[in-house]
Each structure stands twice: as C-alpha cells, then as structure tokens.
C-alpha cells in the first residue's frame, strides 16, 4: 500500500509540476465480500440475479485545483484497510462522470490497475463473467466517446489486454515514468488529468 501511494504521489506531483491540473481518486468497496449489501440480499432470501452485491466507496485524495496532496489524504492513502475489492466498470463510470463535469477541452482518465474486477459476493450470485462483461461495456463506451481520454498503467500485469493506450509498471512504486510517458505521449498541454487507483 505504501509503495502504491508513494508512486501515485510522485506521478501526480510531477504532472502538476508540468502544468496539468491533477485529481487523485480511489474507488473500492465499502466492505469485504459484499459487506452490508450482501447481508441485505441474504435477509431477503437471496433473490436470483441481484446485480452488484457490494457497497461502493469513492475517495478523492486530491481534488482538482488543489496545489498538492494534503497530509491527511496522504495518511488515508497509506491506510491498508481502505482499499478492498475492485469494481472496475463502476470506477470507470464514476471517473468519467467526474472528469466530464469539468469544462476543459481535453481530459484524461489515467487508470492504475493491478488486474481484473473482483467482488466475490457479486460473482457468486451473478456468475463469474458478470463484472468483466460490465467493465468491457463501460470501457468500450468510453473509448467510443473519446472523452475523457482513457489511459492505463498495469501494475505487474499487461493492461494492454484491456486498454489500447497503456504502459506497464513493474510495481506500484514505479508509476511516475510510465504515467508521464503516457500523458506526455498524448500531447501534454493544459488539461485535466485524473488518476484513479
């Protein structure tokens, strides 16, 4: 966790230093294995095909128009209990909506990912491909829309399988170089960049 937080901090600071207005956001589940959403489903006698069975947690560590990552946000990023399971399709939807609410002409959603979407409760109740299908649908919609521009860094895996414009980082502490390469390679002018972890 500390390694990932340090990598994101270095990358966001360097992008800001080069003139980008940067936000850093995290997106995860509010509990393990479905949390209270799964408990509610069980109390209701487990209706078939319930859809997503997890509460979501949105965290903005660094909002747009801030000068840097505040110490309180930095401590939150270092908390190992914050990030749990991945709901990548919903994360992309939320990140795109957050960026598209801005007025700038060019916006980039830079995804930092360590693999496929996983939430055990949702997959158990809906089938093993449920979250992956949703992720692909959202990703394709964003790629077709071309705004925000969708870039990705795969941490320890090949993000190119899912994101046409991507780079790899050996570990989460090494995000700055591939992240800068992606953003600068896509014409770094005055723009909004959102880093989603």
Both tokens assigned to 158: 């090949």
CB atoms inside a 10 Å sphere around CB 138: 17
pLDDT score for 95:
94
Tens digit of each residue's pLDDT (9 = 90 or more) over 63-104: 888 866 666 777 777 776 776 778 899 999 999 999 999 888
User: What are the sequence ranges of the domains in the chain?
Assistant: 2-196
User: Residue 189 burial (CB < 10 Å; 0-12/13-18/19+)?
Assistant: exposed
pLDDT score for 190:
45
pLDDT score for 186:
66
Contacts of residue 9, Cβ cutoff 8 Å, sequence gap at least 6: 69, 74, 77
Instruction: Classify 65 in phi/psi space as left (phi over 0), alpha (psi -120 to 50) or beta.
Output: left
pTM equals 0.85
Contacts of residue 101, Cβ cutoff 8 Å, sequence gap at least 6: none
Would you give the end-to-end CA distance of the chain in angstroms? Answer: 11
% of residues, the chain, pLDDT over 70: 88
Contacts of residue 19, Cβ cutoff 8 Å, sequence gap at least 6: 188, 189, 190
Give the DSSP H/E element, type plus range, for residue 97. helix 88-100
Q: Which CATH architecture has domain 2-196?
A: 3-Layer(aba) Sandwich (3.40)
pLDDT score for 2:
62
Q: What is the pLDDT along the chain (197 residues), one digit of tens a residue?
A: 567 778 888 898 888 888 888 999 888 888 888 888 888 988 999 988 888 888 888 888 888 888 666 667 777 777 767 767 788 999 999 999 999 998 888 899 999 888 777 788 888 889 999 999 999 999 999 999 998 999 999 888 888 999 999 999 888 778 888 888 888 876 554 456 666 65
pLDDT score for 58:
85
Cα–Cα distance between 114 and 91 in angstroms, integer? 14
Strands of the 192-196 sheet, one edge to the other = 56-62, 21-29, 192-196, 107-113, 149-155, 166-169
Angle between the N-to-C axes of helices 2-17 and 176-185, in degrees from 0 to 180, rounded to the nearest 10: 40
pLDDT score for 34:
81
């Amino acid at each position: 966790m500390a390694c990932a937080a340090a990598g994101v901090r270095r990358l966001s600071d360097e992008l800001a230093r080069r003139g980008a207005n940067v936000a850093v956001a995290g997106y995860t589940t509010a509990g393990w294995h479905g949390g209270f959403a799964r408990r509610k489903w069980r109390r209701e006698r487990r209706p078939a095909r319930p859809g997503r069975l997890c509460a979501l947690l949105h965290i903005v560590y660094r909002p747009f128009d801030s000068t840097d990552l505040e110490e309180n946000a930095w401590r939150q990023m270092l908390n190992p209990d914050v990030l749990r399971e991945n709901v990548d399709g919903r994360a992309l939807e939320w990140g795109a909506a957050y960026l598209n609410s801005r007025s700038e002409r060019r916006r980039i959603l830079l995804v930092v990912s360590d693999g496929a979407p996983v939430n055990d409760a949702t997959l158990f109740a809906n089938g093993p491909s449920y979250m992956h299908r949703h992720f692909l649908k959202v990703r394709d919609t964003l790629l077709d829309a071309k705004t925000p521009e969708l870039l990705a860094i795969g941490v320890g895996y090949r993000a190119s399988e899912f994101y046409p414009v991507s780079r790899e980082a050996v570990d989460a502490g090494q995000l700055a170089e591939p992240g800068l390469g992606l953003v600068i390679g896509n014409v770094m002018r005055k723009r909004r960049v959102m880093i989603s972890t």
